[in-house]
Chain A
Amino acid sequence: AQKVTQAQTEISVVEKEDVTLDCVYETRDTTYYLFWYKQPPSGELVFLIRRNSFDEQNEISGRYSWNFQKSTSSFNFTITASQVVDSAVYFCALSESYNQGGKLIFGQGTELSVKP
């Protein structure tokens, strides 16, 4: 069965610190997609990144970077030099090949609090 685990329920950092959000997934599929979404207090989930299972290149986008390691079934997200505006709940999600409808399996989320 598919599953996404975000073991960190809450993380609190001081502005300008680097922070890594962990995501571990389980799937029997060889073809799947992984996503990260951000949910600010307004409630709307905002898409951050998508990765397919054949692309293990790390990605950097500004202060955000993602480390995908198939060998450990992990897709971790790092924010460099965190800012107060990064405060939100972050969700990792999985979509598998058999599920052609794009059903997302979400983790429980990590609530990040960045203090000034």
Chain B
Amino acid sequence: EAGVVQSPRYKIIEKKQPVAFWCNPISGHNTLYWYLQNLGQGPELLIRYENEEAVDDSQLPKDRFSAERLKGVDSTLKIQPAELGDSAVYLCASSKTSGRWNEQFFGPGTRLTVL
């Protein structure tokens, strides 16, 4: 079974430029999560999808961040414009369903560097 796929693995951009990250969850997984991981910290949830619906985006900085999950499968996270403080690893995870007991499967992440 293929794992969670993310691309690109690395991205270097200049501040004020836009950037987008893509995630393909495990087949059959209805719940998709985007996490932000700063250096030396644990991941923090940005947004959670149940199929196509964003059911928890309370931690997403909506002035510059946006996300979508068309057709309830792949998802894209976008930052426009990027700031220096956005340099971090962006992790995508998926689980079969939502629920506090569910094991989440993580992708390798996209490491963003904003210059």
A interface residues with partner B (beta carbon < 8 Å) = 4, 9, 32-33, 35, 37, 42-47, 50, 52, 91, 93, 95-97, 99-104, 106-109
Contact = CB atoms under 8 A, between A and B. Distances in A.
A32 to B, nearest CB: 7
A29 B99 CA distance: 15
A93 B91 CA distance: 15
Nearest to A52: B101
B69 interface: no
Given A33-B100, A96-B100, A104 B45 contact: yes
Chain B interface size, under 10 / 10 to 19 / 20 to 34 / 35 or more: 20 to 34
B91 A45 contact: yes
19 contacts: A9-B40, A35-B103, A43-B89, A43-B109, A43-B111, A44-B107, A45-B91, A50-B101, A52-B101, A93-B42, A101-B99, A102-B48, A102-B99, A102-B101, A103-B45, A103-B48, A103-B56, A106-B42, A108-B40
Contacts of A108: 40-42
Contacts of A91: 42-43
Given A91-B42, A103-B56, A108-B42, A44 B106 contact: yes
B72 interface: no
Q: Which 6 A-B pairs have the closest CB atoms?
A: A106-B42, A95-B100, A45-B106, A44-B108, A101-B98, A43-B109
B95 interface: yes
B105 interface: yes
Nearest to B41: A108
Interface string B16-48: 000000000000000100000000111111001
Contacts of B100: 32-33, 95-97, 99-100, 102
Chain A CB within 10 A, most for which of B44, B89, B100, B103: B100
Contact of B55 (A45, A97, A101): A101
